[in-house]
Amino acid sequence: MNVSFTVAREMKVRYLLICSMLAVFLMLTSASLVHAPVQGWAIASGFGVTTDWHGEEVPLGSTVTATAVWVPSDTGPGETPDTRILTVEFKWRAPAPYDEPPQRDQIWPILGPYYAPNPPPGISIPDELDKWLNDEANNGKEYYYAQDTFVPTEYIGDWGVQAIFKDQIWQHGEWVQFTAKRATSYETIPEVPFGTIAILAGWLGVLGIFALRRKHIPT
């Protein structure tokens, strides 16, 4: 066999092997994260909900705290709002198609009144609420809040927290998203659509073809 042909063939096999390894690497590094736009803080409408992750990706197994805030319209210290919100229902929804029923459904009484710029005592508040409280335009405004926590342990992707503000006969819903990712370490392989077995089979197949071709190439 022509030596130059043999060398060219061996280089082609090596090139295919490198391309296959690169493709698998890209699949591994990109499949475990799912990016999604996070809904904004809608407190200007009088109702808002946000989480303490502020749009960052949440590793599975981490605690997420959702804070819902109600600001009565056209009220000041000592005034009574026209509609008194009594409770907030938090619904934690996993990525589709696992979003129904909610992974957690919890109702809490809404706490208050409090008045900006003073935060509720003894709790950690999200950045969005902190900025709202420290805005001079909001000084003296009355507000109420409720909080709920949840630990997503499965289902990577776009989660949603629905906060439903309720009085005795009326309700209003707000929504915020966060993105869950698989917690990774040097000992774990991120989840991909075809599973870890498919990845290992692909690796073994590529290495097997390379070894077979080398065996049949004359030296």
How many residues comprise the chain?
Answer: 219
CATH of 43-181 among 3.40.50.300, 1.50.40.10, 2.60.40.1930, 3.40.50.720: 2.60.40.1930
CA dihedral (69, 74, 79, 81) positive or negative: negative
Domain ranges of the chain: 3-32+186-216, 43-181
* DSSP per-residue codes, 34-101: ---PPPP--GGGTEEEEETTTT--EETT--EEEEEEE--TT--TT---SS---EEEEEEEPSTTS-SS
Q: What is the pLDDT of residues 81-109, one digit of tens each?
A: 556 899 999 999 999 999 999 999 999 99
Q: Computed from CA positions of residues 134, 135, 141, 146, in that sequence, does the dihedral angle turn out positive or negative?
A: negative
What is residue 13's three-state secondary structure? helix
Residue closest to 144 by CA, chosen among 215, 43, 19, 22: 43
pLDDT greater than 60 at residue 57 = yes
Average confidence (pLDDT) over 55-80: 80
Residue 38 pLDDT class (50, 70, 90 cuts): very low
Percent of the chain with pLDDT over 70: 58
Higher model confidence: residue 79 or residue 131?
Answer: 131
Digit-coded pLDDT (tens) for 9-23 = 566 556 555 545 544
Binning pLDDT at 50, 70 and 90, where does residue 72 land? confident
Q: What is the mean pLDDT of residues 133-141?
A: 93
pLDDT at 205: 55
Q: What is the C-alpha R_g of the chain?
A: 27
pTM of the shown model: 0.64
Q: Which residue has the higher pLDDT, 106 or 215?
A: 106
